[in-house]
């Protein structure tokens, strides 16, 4: 229908509902949201030409590229998208467009005299036994490693990874909030995590564990 579209998304619907509601109010187009936690590419392929999906939205660029490489997308030519989204954040052929970016930052012990930091520094031997990070296979970290390979090449990226592994205070596991938790607990001094978790923790109710974790770190 001309006044409806179907959105397949791996992003939890409640988190994007404000955007969808604003779009519908502005355009008078109803959006039918289908939340697909896993196997988005496989589902669209299985549905084939009968797929009701009009728009595919993923979390993380790697998942987005899987859809393009899987052959289930088509080029979009839009002056509005091209004016709003810089060329380096959209496919040259119009197959994909970025809507948001996340910052992978350093969480550090609040008392640590540290004002600047580079990803490469996590492999410095002076941080041996002081680094916490979530599982290496998580998309947040694979995207970071992919960027390091793109910038520095595979050999340097592997050398960095081995250095980070040697510096780990504990097994790479858990989530980003666990990095803050373990810094507060004295297990590690620094770690990589996404910036928005800090806002969630620091605005949590006073006295909760999340608030204590947020208040115990600083972001570099």
Asked if 84 and 71 count as a contact pair (C-beta separation under 8 A), the reply is no
Alpha helices in 95-219 (DSSP H): 139-152, 154-167, 176-184, 196-202, 209-215
84, two tokens: 């709003």
Q: What is the per-residue pLDDT for 53?
A: 96
- The Cα 40–Cα 59 span in angstroms is 11
Q: What is the per-residue pLDDT for 1?
A: 63
Q: Are residues 60 and 117 part of one domain?
A: no
164, two tokens: 């980070």
**Structural domain of 85:** 4-89
- What would you report as the CA-atom Rg of the chain, rounded to the nearest whole angstrom? 20
What pTM was estimated for this model as a whole? 0.81
Residue 69, domain member (yes or no): yes
Residue 137 neighbours by CB under 8 Å, 6+ apart:
none
Q: Are residues 46 and 110 part of one domain?
A: no
Residue corresponding to tokens 């697909």: 36
Q: Quick one: DSSP state of residue 219?
A: E
Domain boundary pick from 89, 113, 142: 89
Q: Number of C-alpha atoms within 13 angstroms, CB side, residue 140?
A: 17
Q: Are residues 211 and 146 part of one domain?
A: yes
Asked if 105 and 197 count as a contact pair (C-beta separation under 8 A), the reply is no
Q: Are residues 53 and 153 part of one domain?
A: no
Q: E strand or H helix at 193, and its extent?
A: strand 190-194
Measure Cα distances from 89 to 99, 113, 136, 194 in Å. Answer: 9, 35, 24, 19
Q: Are residues 126 and 27 part of one domain?
A: no
pLDDT tens figures, 69-82: 999 999 999 999 99
Below-70 pLDDT ranges, the chain: 1
């Amino acid at each position: 229908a001309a006044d409806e579209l179907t959105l397949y998304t791996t992003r939890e619907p409640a988190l994007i509902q404000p955007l969808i509601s604003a779009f519908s109010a502005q355009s008078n187009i109803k959006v039918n949201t289908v939340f697909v936690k896993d196997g988005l590419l496989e589902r669209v392929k299985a549905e084939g030409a009968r797929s009701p999906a009009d728009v595919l939205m993923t979390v993380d660029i790697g998942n987005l590229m899987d859809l393009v490489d899987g052959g289930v997308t088509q080029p979009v030519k839009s002056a509005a998208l091209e004016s709003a989204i810089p060329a380096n954040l959209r496919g040259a052929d119009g197959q994909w467009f970025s809507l948001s970016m996340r910052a992978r930052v350093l969480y550090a012990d609040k008392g640590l005299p540290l004002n600047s930091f580079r990803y490469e520094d996590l492999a410095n031997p002076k941080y041996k036994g002081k680094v916490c990070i979530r599982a290496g296979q998580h998309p947040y970290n694979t995207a970071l490693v992919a960027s390091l390979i793109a910038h520095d090449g595979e050999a340097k990226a592997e050398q960095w990874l081995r250095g980070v592994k040697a510096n780990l205070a504990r097994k790479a596991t858990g989530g980003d909030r666990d990095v803050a938790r373990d810094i507060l607990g004295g297990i590690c001094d620094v770690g990589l995590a996404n910036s928005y978790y800090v806002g969630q923790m620091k605005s949590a109710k006073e006295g909760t564990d999340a608030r204590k974790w947020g208040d115990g770190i600083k972001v570099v």
